[in-house]
Structure 1
Amino acid sequence: MQLSFPHLAPILLLIGSNLFMTFAWYGHLKFPGTALWVAVMISWGIAFFEYWLAVPANRIGYGTYSAAALKTIQEVISLTVFAGFAVLVLGEKLTWNHGIGFGLIGLGAFFIFKGPLR
């Protein structure tokens, strides 16, 4: 498959969208002393920009990819971005359990893109 604009744009937009969303959902964990309402409002503000990338990604990608394929791409990107964030920003360690769990999700993604079994 040759990657053209409708193939590549949704993936790039979803990467950007997931970077914003990961910071919106988990960035506040670095600041436990911040009032909860402040963390929610800041997270909400960050998530606003996530939508400006996620919605166009799905609009551009639908037709080239099925809705299930777009969601699968988003989930794989989300896990990849989150794993990097957990290690690099939160200082957490990934274990074999994480790797196995992510691998099983990757196996699920394989079956989504494989198409119907015959």
Structure 2
Amino acid sequence: MLCDDTATLVFLADQACITAHRFLSRASRPNHPDRLVFDFDPPDDDFALVRQAALQLHELLDELRLPSVAMTSGSRGLHVIVPWTAAAPSTTSAPSPAASPTCPPSGRQGRR
């Protein structure tokens, strides 16, 4: 679902399906993310499934020569984090922060 207006945001908040994540870029450079985060949450309590998916993603990222690290999400899943720097291969393009569901509402960049 694309959330691009106030009514959709209110609908999603009412469904309790918005998860607050840290912002992916610095407040001084909101259009230049410093990291890419893949968020894996189990459909039930099957953490083995999350572990397997995160490992497969890590292997794919290794093939692409993109370093990654996994960490617990603080809830019940895992985050796979890819540092996004100038050192990333030039054939890789950074995702737009506007397309990321982890972006905070405008005016709140860098504050959590």
Query: Fold-level match, TM-score > 0.5?
Result: no
TM-score of the pair, normalised by structure 2: 0.31
Q: Which has the larger radius of gyration?
A: 1
TM-score (structure 1 length as normaliser): 0.30
Question: Higher strand fraction: Structure 1 or Structure 2?
Answer: 2
